[in-house]
Structure 1
Amino acid sequence: MSTLTASRTGHHTIVASADSHQPDPAAAVAEIAAALGTRADLYAVFVAPGYDLDPVARALKHHFDDRVIGCTSSGNIGPTGYDRTGICAVALTGGLRVRTVTLGPLDDAPGAVERAAADLAEARSEVGDSESFAILLTDGLTRNEDLLAANLMAALGDVPIIGGSAGDDLSFRHTAVYHDGTFTANLASVAIVCTDAPFRLIRLQHHEATDTILIATDVDPDRRIIRAFNGRPAAPAYAEAVGLPVAGLNPTIYGKHPLLLNAAGSAWVRSIAATNSDGTLSMFARVDVGDVLRVGRPMGMIEKLEHQFAAVEADLGRIGGMLAFDCILRRLEFEEHELADRVGGFLAEHNVVGFSTYGEQFNGMHMNQTLVAVAFS
């Protein structure tokens, strides 16, 4: 069964969302198309695990032609909040002008951006002085979103970027991005959106940096492995910093105490994925030699969310819809504290639609444990 929500702003933008839990892929997409129509300027579609992606892709192409972007997810944010299953979609309508460029293969992220340079330059020139933003969807298992975001930002100049890394609900086997009737691994898409309607890009995290500093002195940045902090094996150094033995480290501790990197006047979360038997740490984001990282601590999970949305509404007016990319680690943390239903309900009340990601992008940075979004009044 599908659920539909819609809101019309004074600037004639319509943000509508729908989801389906039909087990048959073609039937699920057809149900969403029946709810949303097929005339929107842009559709964003997120597919939770459990679906054969080939018939999903063919159905998306059939119903929405080339006006659709999408990827696999680790669960969705739908009309009723957090949802681990199904297919979820948002439709944006109201004079939006959209140009989508694909990037890949992503084994060499800078090279992928360079190969698409002509298309990106043409898309950027079409923007001109118009208000615009870019939506980046990328394979979540390539481990190079950091380089991709940085190089893409350099190519797009002053066009702001939000994005999410495709997921597969923590199985870490196969993630894919939709392009022209197929879901493809090792690929990214960037949709440059121009609109005359007001919008705001937001970045929200609920961790703050403490005074405990760990300097990365030995790393494998491409594999996202930290070997040493301050000249000491990484795992024991981190464990000491959070007041535990190495044997006490686990995903709950990593979620509670991520590492924060200060850059561009702000703090960006680098989450720990695992402690390895050789005393190294595997990360969900790139860390380079010499990076100064601070141990984080959670601060007001609900309060941060409410404050951020209140600030957006004070600036933009009532939120009519929001496309959001929200780290899977945030949802897991909410579930651990029995807050997922409350947070999901809050997101649904504010017409937030999106998916649980393997990482988030904001302008030229890749990060974890963060919600990034574009809000429409």
Structure 2
Amino acid sequence: MVTTTLPRSGQHISAASVASHLPDGAAAVAEIAAALGSQADLYTVFVSTGYDLEVVGPALKQHFGDQVIGCTSSGNIGPNGYERTGICAAALTGGGLRTRTITVGPLDDTATAVEQAGSALAGLRAELADDGEGFAVLLTDGLTRNEDLLAANLMATLGDVPIVGGSAGDDLTFAHTAVYHDGKFLVNTATVTLVRAEAPFLLFRLQHHDPTDTILVATDVDADRRIIREFNGRPAASAYAEAVGADLADIGPTTFSTHPLLLKAAGSSWIRSIAALNDDESLSLLARVDTGDVLRLGRPVGMLEKLAERFDAVGAELGSISAVLTFDCILRRLEFEEHGLADEVGEFLAEHRAIGFSTYGEQFNGMHMNHSLVAVAFG
């Protein structure tokens, strides 16, 4: 797996997290504020479906000021592990932590949006150069279907500043996702937050699917709509079903979760998950695939073992972990639920101080992917 490590020394970031399940958004934020206070250097807030965002947004601004990043979620990760409901928030303080956030959008034309934000992004990068090493957190509307281009364009603009983040969700209703900025939840928009810390931190990603030797070449693609019409010159669904050893009538979400597609790029494998089988035997994906891309069928390997191994390695490198800002694909949680492992995985994440949300996709540097966990751990 690709990791980016940026060691620092002599400082420590303290973290506290809390979840509220009060149904009223203003009351829930007030309960969170009472637990976390209002003096942290950075607050992260993730909001499950069912809340009035026009109430939650101003309440966040009122209690926490400008030091807030967040979005809607398909469930949260916090002190109680995996939770499908409620508002989960964390407060990060100390360790020379400094942040600054800008918005990028509208995202209908991603390249233009990033270009228009160029001067602000250059300012973020200059601030990073002046103050030391750091990274950027990317949160984006999860229904725009353009995270691939967004991550690539941002990486090209930010240069050697590593990026980690996730796509906002809405618990698989696919109706309304939004990112938070300055008292409002915004659609068709992304936020980019520069984070600078003197405490040690490490960016990492993991996935529990390995590529097999079964190759599917995308020969007919609608890249912008993330649709594959043909593999190897044959209807995509039929070719995929044959590859996994199933009848066309039997493939569905469980098959897609167990056997995603993997694209090799930048010296590693990146998951492109299948979202749906269409009536014309095309396949809709959750990440971009271009004509001619060579994809390999994936297989699950060590769902729990890979998680424990990676967190152990991160802890060993940092010495200790005070918090792990975590962007974890909703497909992972669904797979854990299917295998009766969700409670165990959730407890593991809580014990290792993971705070974050279940995403509609993950971003790591210039890549967008699915069925992965990406994170930044603070030592």
The reply on whether 1:97 has 2:104 as its aligned counterpart is no
Answer whether contact 1:90 1:323 (CA < 8 A) is retained. no
Any residues of structure 2 matched to 1:171-190 within 5 Å, and which?
Answer: 171-190=173-192
| 1:5 alignment counterpart | none
TM-score by length of 1: 0.97
Superposition pairs for residues 260-271 of structure 1, below 5 Å?
A: 260-271=262-273
Partner SS, residue 222 of structure 1? coil
Give TM-score scaled by structure 2 length. Answer: 0.96
Separation in structure 2 between the aligned mates of residue 108 and residue 138 of structure 1, nearest angstrom: 14
For the aligned residue pairs, the C-alpha RMSD in angstroms reads: 0.9
Q: For structure 2, list consecutive stretches of 5 or more residues without a partner in the other structure.
A: 1-8
Secondary structure, aligned partner of 2:224: helix
Question: Superposition pairs for residues 274-353 of structure 1, below 5 Å?
Answer: 274-353=276-355
Unaligned runs of 5+ in 1: 1-8
8 Å Cα contact 1:44/1:90 also seen in 2 = yes
Aligned twin of 2:73 = 73
- Partner residue in 1 for 2:20: 20
Aligned partner of 1:254 among 236, 253, 256: 256
Query: 1:1-377 to 2 correspondence within 5 Å?
Result: 11-94=11-94, 95-128=96-129, 130-377=132-379
Q: Aligned equivalents of 1:12 and 1:262: distance in 2? A: 37
Q: CA deviation at 1:13?
A: 1.4
Task: For 2:178 and 2:371, locate their aligned partners in 1 and report how far apart those are by CA, in whole Å.
Answer: 21
For the residues of structure 2 that align with 1:158 and 1:101, how far apart are their CA atoms? 18
Decide whether the 8 Å contact of 1:313 with 1:319 is kept in 2: yes
Supply the AA of the counterpart residue of 2:378. Answer: F
Q: Which residue type is aligned with residue 283 of structure 2?
A: L
Partner SS for 2:170: coil
Cα distance in 2 for residues equivalent to 1:179 and 1:272? 31
**Structure 1, residues 183-229: CA drift from partner, whole Å, max 9, x if none?**
01101001010111100011010000000000111100000000111
Give deviations 1:215-257, integer Å, cap 9, x for gaps.
1111000000001111111110101000011111110000000
Paired with 2:155 and 2:102, the residues of 1 have a C-alpha distance of 14
Report deviation, 1:10: 5.8
Letter in 1 for 2:371: Q
| Count of residue correspondences | 369
The code of the aligned residue for 2:348 comes to F
Residue 12 of structure 1 and its aligned partner are, at CA, apart by 3.0
2:6 aligned partner: none
Q: Deviations over 1:68-95 (max 9, x none)?
A: 0110000000101000000001111112
> Moved runs in structure 1, 4+ residues, more than 3 A?
none
